[in-house]
Amino acid sequence: MSLKITNSVEDKVAVLKIAGEVDMFSSPQARNAIMELVKQRVPRVVVELSGVSYMDSSGVATLIEGLQLCQKYNGTLVVAGLRDNVREVFELTRLDKIFQIYKDVDTAKVNE
């Protein structure tokens, strides 16, 4: 199943909304969307995941790659709106210590 992805950029903050199941089949689609924002060197990328019902390690790897590329130009990538099972993947892999995780987009935008 492919993902539903929308993005908007306003005041140097990009909000990338992803919905669906992020796995080895669909994660390249998420990666392309993140890479597009990285190319534009957007200072802050908020990846909104409330519509993501499942994420595997390829999804997590995509986010790590995005974060590292953003950091190269002093930008950042944060995540928001994680469902419990997706948060569990972050905790299991201890990436909750690496990523800034916000409860929703509004909070993620404010906490720059």
Partner 1 sequence: MTKTIILNLTSDPPLLSVMRAAVSKVCEIAGFDQMDTSKIILAIDEACSNIIRHAYKGKGGQSIKITCKIKPTKLEFILEDEGEPADLKKIKSRPLDEIRPGGLGVYIITSVMDKVKFADGMEAGNRLIMQKSIPKDKK
- Shortest Å distance, C-beta 36 to partner 1: 17
User: Cβ closer to partner 1: 98 or 103?
Assistant: 98
User: Cβ closer to partner 1: 86 or 105?
Assistant: 86
Which one, of 110, 53, 55, lies nearest residue 78 by Cα? Answer: 110
Name the residues that contact partner 1, by CB under 8 A: 1, 21, 23-25, 54, 56-58, 60-62, 64-65, 68, 84-85, 88-89, 92-94, 98
- Shortest Å distance, C-beta 5 to partner 1: 17
Distances from the Cα of 34 to the Cαs of 50, 65, 91, in angstroms? Answer: 17, 9, 22
- Shortest Å distance, C-beta 93 to partner 1: 5
Tell me how crowded residue 27 is: count the other CB atoms within 10 A of its CB.
21
Token duo for residue 72 = 């190269």
- Shortest Å distance, C-beta 106 to partner 1: 27
**DSSP labels, 9-29:** EETTEEEEEEEEEESTTTHHH
